[in-house]
């Protein structure tokens, strides 16, 4: 995960903390920081079923509107290098993200193996999930040590962790292949979440109650009660 420990900690310390009472139209209860952490690479499937091909949405402000592009372009580039026998895993300081991607994914396949794009994407999903979970565990250990010796006040945190693959489908349809979804409670217990436990919430109405300045600070906004 190129975001790393510092990036996740930076986002967490800027998240709002529940406190008893009303805050900008939302009732806050119990002093808990809450997040949704989404760990997912992306891939495309064209109208003809070709994996990795995506047509930019016509009318979009993006320069690729109406044009055929690759998704994920970084994974497609790695696959192309593998097919050409020219995979380069040397550190490129001008493109560290692609460097890390190729270095870490190359360790998931045997020498001479030629993975398909969907196999590369699933490998990326597994690596991302493992790394983010390891970072979260290390952050929890660091916080616990700081609280034990009085260097930091006790932080009460809960988060929902969702991992899978984002899929760009035909006619600009969006899908999500779900691999894992669970909640980490403030007491440390991990609870699996099934699709049957989810319910529709008025996200637009909820976000309208939050100032734009807050949206720039908060990684994710979770309203208590979304998960039964």
Q: Is 28 helix (H, G, I), strand (E, B) or coil?
A: strand
Question: Do the Cβ atoms of 35 and 220 come closer than 8 Å?
Answer: yes
Q: Is the pLDDT of residue 127 over 70?
A: yes
Segment 172-205, tens digit of pLDDT: 788 889 999 998 887 777 888 888 877 766 666 6
Q: If you average pLDDT over residues 95-100, what whole number do you get?
A: 87
pLDDT band, residue 119 (cuts 50/70/90): very high
CA distance 219 to 35: 7
Q: If you average pLDDT over residues 35-48, what whole number do you get?
A: 87
Out of 36-45, 69-78, 141-150, 172-181, least confident range = 141-150
pLDDT of residue 75: 92
Q: Where are the domains of the chain?
A: 4-215
pLDDT of residue 31: 67
pLDDT of residue 204: 64
pLDDT of residue 35: 81
pLDDT band, residue 72 (cuts 50/70/90): confident
Alpha helical stretches, state H, the chain: 4-12, 73-83, 96-106, 117-148, 203-208, 212-215
pLDDT of residue 228: 31
Contact partners, residue 11, CB within 8 Å, separation at least 6: 35, 219
Helix axes 117-148, 96-106, angle to 10 degrees: 100
Segment 215-228, tens digit of pLDDT: 443 333 333 333 33
């Amino acid at each position: 995960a190129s975001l790393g420990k510092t990036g996740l900690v930076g986002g967490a310390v800027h998240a709002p903390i529940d406190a008893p009472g009303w805050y900008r139209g939302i009732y806050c209860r119990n002093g808990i920081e809450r997040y949704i952490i989404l760990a997912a690479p992306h891939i495309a499937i064209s109208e003809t079923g070709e994996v990795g091909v995506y047509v930019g949405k016509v009318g979009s402000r993006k320069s690729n509107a109406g044009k055929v592009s690759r998704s994920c372009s970084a994974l497609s580039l790695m696959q192309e290098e593998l097919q050409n026998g020219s995979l380069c895993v040397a550190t490129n300081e001008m493109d560290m993200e692609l460097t890390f991607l190729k270095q870490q994914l190359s360790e998931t396949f045997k020498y001479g193996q030629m993975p398909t794009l969907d196999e590369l994407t699933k490998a990326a999903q597994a690596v991302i999930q493992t790394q983010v979970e390891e970072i979260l565990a290390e952050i929890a250990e660091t916080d616990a040590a700081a609280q034990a010796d009085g260097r930091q006040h006790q932080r009460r945190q809960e988060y929902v962790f969702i991992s899978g693959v984002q899929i760009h489908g035909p006619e600009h349809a969006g899908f999500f292949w779900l691999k894992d979804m669970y909640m980490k409670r403030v007491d440390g217990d991990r609870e699996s979440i099934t699709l049957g436990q989810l319910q529709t919430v008025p996200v637009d109405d909820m976000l309208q109650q939050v100032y734009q300045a807050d949206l720039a600070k908060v990684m994710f906004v979770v309203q208590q009660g979304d998960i039964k």
